[in-house]
Amino acid sequence: MAQTRTSVKYDTESMEQVFRYVGENKDRFVENLAMLVRQPSVAAKHEGIEECAGIVHDMLSRTINADAKVLKLEGASPLVTAEIKSKSNPGKTVTLYNHYDVQPAEPLDLWDSPPWEPVIRDGKLYGRGAADDKAELVGRLALTESFLKTRDDVPCNFRFVFEGEEEIGSINLHKYKKEDPELFRGDGVVWEFGSVDARERPVVTLGVKGILYVELTSTNANRDAHSSLAAVVENPAWRLVHALDTLKQGERILIPGWYEDVRKFTPSELQLLREQESEEGELKKELGIKGFIGGMTGLELKKALAGKPTCTICGMISGYTGPGSKTVLPKEASAKIDFRLVPDQKPAKLEKLLRSHLNKKGYRDVLVTYSEGEPASRTSHQDPIAQAAIRAAQSVHEKKPVVQVSSAGTGPMFLFDAPCVAIGGGYPSSRAHSPNENARLDLFVKGMKWVAETIDRFALS
């Protein structure tokens, strides 16, 4: 900490040279992004994953001459890794964590241009995965190249960990860690996402929520039957609705013990939350909603986003869902449920609580299929990597950054044995996970510079 504070005489001139290189090569970096977006890589469907890992591997070789490795565990997406050793500062290592897999592109009919055919409109590159996380991944290769080309060195050792299952909960990343724990060590981690807020202020995020993702399924007959039989034959859609209804009342999750391990905000976290300006107006406009749950606002809203455990129906299906009316008694009904977790909730324990709750409520027949589970993670804003990100934000964006205690989102931060900071080139309307996902190209460049200066400052700390 003291070390960071003393590095006041930071060499901005050398950084400017790196930035100039970034600017001069921008078009080529955008081409690399488009190339990566063009390759579908949907982990949920095992679609194009190997191909995308290959492209990332080749890009590491081609752009920064890295001796990249494509690690492959049975049944898992490949992990693409590489290391660039620093000549001047070999004692410190920063890890750059990104993912090359993306969300499914559905619903396809809501896209204005095909999700796998990147196009630039109004300074934004559109396509599935453009923002989450391909712009970040390409940006980090680009900033590394910019260091190497201007300094013939990197500020400290760079370690790239590019995974292919982030969007399905990084289900195998712990296995790669078991194989090679060294990959997950280091002095600091720059996380895969980051953005400006709706007022163009850079956001430094210090943590992520955890997740427990399950599917609840109820079944009965061996086929969809005529709905006239509903007078005597149990309807799994009703079973599911009644079972779901027992999980939540208002915003309270009704599963006994669910809140037992929830860690309270520390005074300094609360202070950060208070300082963080609210973006309520922007979010409402963005989503076209009149207000938030229960009229929530201000600190309460910020606390909910950073620290409220949630239980969300992400998807639900049963019977006939086409146009018009079909009188059918469904054979099956299912719902995908995403529970977001906060420190120190434990996914495995919560899964057991859920099962036991359903049993006690009489829904022993409702199947719970585990899909993913990750605990939450948080870094202190006083860590050197956090301080470097805060200072670099001020310098690159020329604005006081927003420091966020935790993202409302999730990621496998907990697997990395080092302080972690999430920064990057995103913005609130990037429509990650939605149709018309896009990356703003001005921020693609600015994000690169921000991460570059963060690492440069961190290397000196």
Q: CB under 8 A: which stretch of 18-26, 57-65, 72-80, 209-217 binds a copy of itself?
A: 209-217
Q: What residue ranges in 167-282 does DSSP mark as E strands? A: 188-190, 195-196, 202-205, 207-208, 210-219, 225-226, 248-249, 252-253
CB of 51 closer than 8 Å to CB of 42: no
Which residues between 32 and 61 bind a copy of itself (CB under 8 A)?
A: 43-45
CB of 7 to a copy of itself, least distance (A): 34
CB of 239 to a copy of itself, least distance (A): 10
Exposed / middle / buried, residue 128 (Cβ in 10 Å: 0-12, 13-18, 19+):
buried
Among 312, 356, 359, 382, indicate the residue that binds a copy of itself (CB under 8 A).
312
- For 133, which DSSP code? I
CB of 433 closer than 8 Å to CB of 103: yes
Residue 10 lies near a copy of itself (rule: CB under 8 A): no
Q: How far apart are CA 331 and CA 218, in angstroms?
A: 8
Q: What is the H or E stretch that residue 52 is in?
A: helix 49-64
Residue 313 lies near a copy of itself (rule: CB under 8 A): yes
For a copy of itself, which is the closer residue by CB, 338 or 383? 338
Which residues between 420 and 439 bind a copy of itself (CB under 8 A)?
A: 431-435
CB of 128 to a copy of itself, least distance (A): 12
Helix 12-24 vs helix 136-151: crossing angle, to nearest 10: 120
For a copy of itself, which is the closer residue by CB, 187 or 192? 192
CA 101 to chain centre: 11
Which residues between 89 and 148 bind a copy of itself (CB under 8 A)?
A: 103-104, 106-107, 110
User: x/- string (CB under 8 A) for a copy of itself, residues 266-295?
Assistant: -----------------x---xxx--xx--
Residue 377 lies near a copy of itself (rule: CB under 8 A): no
Among 70, 198, 270, 296, indicate the residue that binds a copy of itself (CB under 8 A).
296
CB of 232 to a copy of itself, least distance (A): 5
CB of 354 to a copy of itself, least distance (A): 15
Q: How far apart are CA 114 and CA 152, in angstroms?
A: 40
Among 75, 91, 267, 322, indicate the residue that binds a copy of itself (CB under 8 A).
322
CB of 14 to a copy of itself, least distance (A): 38
Q: Name, in order, each residue with C-beta under 8 angstroms of 49's C-beta and a sequence gap of 6 or more.
A: 41, 42, 43, 77, 78, 101, 164
Residue 299 lies near a copy of itself (rule: CB under 8 A): no
Q: Tell me the number of residues near a copy of itself by CB under 8 A.
A: 85
Q: How far apart are CA 199 and CA 283, in angstroms?
A: 11
User: x/- string (CB under 8 A) for a copy of itself, residues 222-261?
Assistant: xxxxxxxxxxxxxx-xx--xx-xx--x-------------
Q: How far apart are CA 437 and CA 114, in angstroms?
A: 11
Q: How far apart are CA 206 and CA 285, in angstroms?
A: 26
Which residues between 326 and 365 bind a copy of itself (CB under 8 A)?
A: 326-330, 333, 335-336, 338, 340
Closest CA to 98 of 9, 236, 194, 214: 194
Coil, strand or helix: which one is 285? Answer: helix
Q: Phi/psi of residue 359, each to 5°?
A: -60, -45
CB of 122 to a copy of itself, least distance (A): 18
Tell the residue number behind the tokens 């609705």, with chain if given.
241
Residue 198 lies near a copy of itself (rule: CB under 8 A): no
Which residues between 392 and 411 bind a copy of itself (CB under 8 A)?
A: 407-410
For a copy of itself, which is the closer residue by CB, 197 or 453? 197
